Structure 1
Amino acid sequence: MVERQDELLRALHDEHAPALWRYVVWLTGDRHFAEDVVQETLVRAWRRPQVLDQSGGSTRAWLFTVARNLVIDDRRSAHARHEIAAEQLPERASEDGTEAMFDAWVVSDALASISDDHRRVVVLSYYQGRSVAEISTELGIPEGTVKSRLHYALRALRLALQERGVTA
């Protein structure tokens, strides 16, 4: 009985496997997956000996139905919905500037919250790269006042940033 089943299974494979494989490739476009589906379909036929004893037409219909159901089950499964097959590895993540833009927005917001005198000396010093002497001349105030305002402006800016969730 076992030998007869093995012979029937070999004959089933030889007769139907190529057409079954083409059918699954047509359904999915995936040659490797089609091989797996054909193998699983034939294993299921082997587990159901009554299928092997049927006439050729109904056996073929049963095999194609099983293969189609296997494809549908795979496509409905969680791994098919969450995995993406790719021929090549995806590109590595690159810096897109979002982090820098967010940082600039937070600093700009914090700068807007400090006094005008403090903001002016910070912008002239850190953003425009001016020296204490140049700031003193431009604003018409002593250099010591520029240094003092810069010191207190940075303290106020640090506090404003901490209030916005930025920690030192």
Structure 2
Amino acid sequence: MTVSQSAVHAETFVRALYEDVAGPLYGYVVRLTGDRARAEEVVQETFVRAWRRAHKLNRGPEELRGWLFTTARNLVTDLWRSDAARPTTVSDERALGAAPAADDLEQAVQRWTVADALDRLSIEHRTVLVETYYEGRSVNEAAQRLGIPPGTVKSRTYYALRALRLVLEEMEVAR
């Protein structure tokens, strides 16, 4: 057999093997890795190794299948070992996303300030503002929840906002 005949034989051998075993092998490797992309890489490498050793793999179908599954398992084990040996790298985007941004801190301070100001309002004013602004309810929905007429919700909201502004001015937050 010439070199080109050997290559054609190896290619035909691996194609037939791939058609027969690729699906179950891929499922097996997905279960081992939990990652479809890695499983595809492992299956591909397994068949590359089968192609390289085609002249040595003169075995029956069950032995070949066992060899493929064992090779794939060994490749997955090598991946686990290499992952364990390497420290986990964190991309700049992930690190930046985890760190609080200046805007986040500013928003937190604003929330605390507004919460403090709301605590200084009367219960009627506070509840109407919470219902309409924080809960996002319409005047009619707020009226139903609070058990008061819609006109009362409107007027309380108006006066509650004025009172809130005064409290914030007293706190030297708003001018």
TM-score (norm 2): 0.48
Larger Rg, first or second structure (1 or 2) = 1
* TM-score between both structures, scaled by the size of structure 1: 0.49
